[in-house]
A and B are shown apart, each in its own frame.
Chain A
Amino acid sequence: MLQDYDITALIITLRLAATTTIILLIVGTPIAWWLANTRSRLRSTIEAIIALPLVLPPTVLGFYLLLAFSPDGPVGKAVAALGLPSLAFSFTGLVLGSVIYSMPFVVQPLQNSFVSLGKRPLEVAATLGASAIDRFISVVLPLSKMGYLTAAVLGFAHTLGEFGVVLMIGGNIPGQTQVLSIAIYDHVEALEYGQAHWLAGGLLIGSFLVLLMVYGANRRIHLMKTA
């Protein structure tokens, strides 16, 4: 059965994934909007930087984040100067790492969704007197529902499965920075296969159900469009 510290790890993981997803949806929206609409030459550079976590081993990212967060690192110094607690081995540090690590999984679906929207609906809304923010809320958001759902699910699921970055910058402190994926690893190391099964199996079934819901919603929207 699940033990207390497994449940703690589960709660930390869900909190981490939820926080990361919310931050990413907020931060990712303007980035994706800019990428979808800009004619700037900087676009490909920014796109490449955001896509880096897709190809880099998480340990590489974790390593550099750890250096940056360390008391001598640029981020560490800035944080210390502001009188805030260190980011390394803290939940806040994990959130920051996860935001960077899961960024492409949120930005790319949003960007695709904004591109496929085209300019026309926004131009129509503008001629009908809608301001920029009004256009975004009344036209872009409802027409990008599927993009947001996909982005949220992918961002959440990807943060759920994070291992390398968390291990490097989180330090696997039970009750603070120990997440599910690392708890599973610990159980396996300790040959506690039964407990590893509970966690791993739970994660497997949970992830499957979430994806099933997304594809189901996707299909319904698709059917509605063709009906």
Chain B
Amino acid sequence: MIEVELHLQRSEFQLNVEFSVPGHGVSAVFGPSGCGKTTLLRAIAGLEPDATGSLEVNGRKWQSPLKRLPVEARGVGLVFQHPSLFPHLTVEENLFYGMKRLRKVSNPFDIKELILILGIEQLLKRHPDSLSGGELQRVALGRALLAEPKLLLMDEPLSMLDQASREILMQLLESFLQQIDIPVLYVTHSSEEVARLADNLVLLSRGGVTACGPTTTVLASLNSELSRSESAFSVLQGRISNKELSGLLSVECSDGIDLKVPASESMVAKHYNLGRAVRLRIRARDVSICLERPQQSSILNILPAVIMEISTSSDSGSRVIKLDIAGMHILSKISDYSVQQLGLHTGQAVFAQIKSASLV
């Protein structure tokens, strides 16, 4: 378990957070810019000397009201938004900076293999100033991991990269972060990154935690600010069940419930084998509700659903509806007017039209 209870008072801002996430897997800290995500991460790393409270990582006390471990004694890996390699050291020297300072090297990683996975084997003798943003960030990740951290903190590691290098690093993180035995706290304001990477989700808003738990549960809750915002979305997990349709993949998300999602043929050929576990992201505003099953619709995914909960009306005159589709929960955002017209109520059986779902 990672148990966090931290407070920090600034003149224009205060951070008051209390949450716990499992001591393994990837937990995303998600929120709009300015909500205190980075400050929280810095406080956990021990870089905010004024932060008070207590902090425990898998049984080790990093901070309590009486004692604070200094940063260097915590065993924390931190990958900053701006890749921060030491400019006076080569890539190789950067990589081993933390490892050289370990009291006891237990080598959880095969160093050669890690270097290959990160794709930095050609760069080892070079200086950081000749590397691209994506390369720098991959070296920074390797450097943090080789120091054998008890907790890996990542502060929007993709946000400064161009689209192409972002995608490369994202795919690397997707497969890699799941394999390593180190818990990861991943700060981001991108719903795509949450959908693709996070097992658990901590929602942060104006310096406080508004929700915390498994990603699918938190996203499906109507109480959070996120679910009522324009960017509300749901994440479904499933397996590829059919790849013979042209331009489409079929994903089985629950017993007998298949969703069809667009996928380019090259991607299908390269990445998606039958039975592979995938995640789907569905925006709440792409889900509409019908009382009867529409016939001959261009919309591919029309599924029977039961209304579990209807939110109160928002300022913009829309409501969020939580639907149960064979045990899966997804959100639908429709207008207040439609709710009245259709006479929607909790427990009602309806049909959900999913206009688009994307593989993430």
Contact = CB atoms under 8 A, between A and B. Distances in A.
Contacts of A125: 86, 97
A124 B139 CA distance: 13
Given A142-B88, A143-B87, A128 B143 contact: yes
Interface stretch (B75-83, B282-290, B318-326): B75-83
A203 B76 CA distance: 54
A129 B80 contact: no
Nearest to A129: B101
A131 B72 contact: yes
Interface string B80-97: 101010111000000001
A3 interface: no
A120 B143 CA distance: 15
Contacts of B70: 126
B144 interface: yes
Contacts of A126: 46-47, 70-72
A126 B46 CA distance: 9
Q: Which range holds the interface residue count of chain B?
A: 20 to 34
Interface residues of A, number: 17
Contacts, number: 57
A143 B74 CA distance: 25
B187 to A, nearest CB: 15
A126 to B, nearest CB: 4
Contacts of B230: none
A15 B143 CA distance: 46
Nearest to B149: A127
B144 A130 contact: no
Contacts of A123: 45, 47, 71, 78
Contacts of A120: 80, 82, 84
Interface string B56-81: 00000000000000111011111010
A50 to B, nearest CB: 27
A143 B89 CA distance: 10
B102 interface: yes
A133 to B, nearest CB: 11
A192 interface: no
B80 A124 contact: yes
A128 B88 contact: no
A138 B52 CA distance: 30
B101 A127 contact: no
A139 interface: yes
B98 interface: yes
B129 interface: yes
A128 B98 contact: yes
A225 B84 CA distance: 16
Contact of A127 (B76, B82, B88, B102): B76
The 6 closest A-B pairs by CB, nearest first: A128-B98, A126-B71, A129-B101, A127-B78, A142-B88, A126-B72
30 contacts: A120-B80, A121-B84, A123-B45, A123-B47, A123-B71, A123-B78, A124-B78, A124-B86, A125-B86, A125-B97, A126-B70, A126-B71, A127-B72, A127-B77, A127-B144, A128-B72, A128-B97, A128-B101, A128-B143, A128-B147, A129-B101, A130-B72, A130-B101, A131-B72, A138-B97, A139-B88, A142-B88, A143-B86, A143-B87, A143-B88
Interface of A: 120-121, 123-131, 134, 138-139, 142-143, 225
Given A121-B86, A126-B47, 9 more contacts: A120-B80, A120-B82, A123-B47, A126-B71, A127-B72, A128-B101, A130-B101, A139-B86, A143-B87
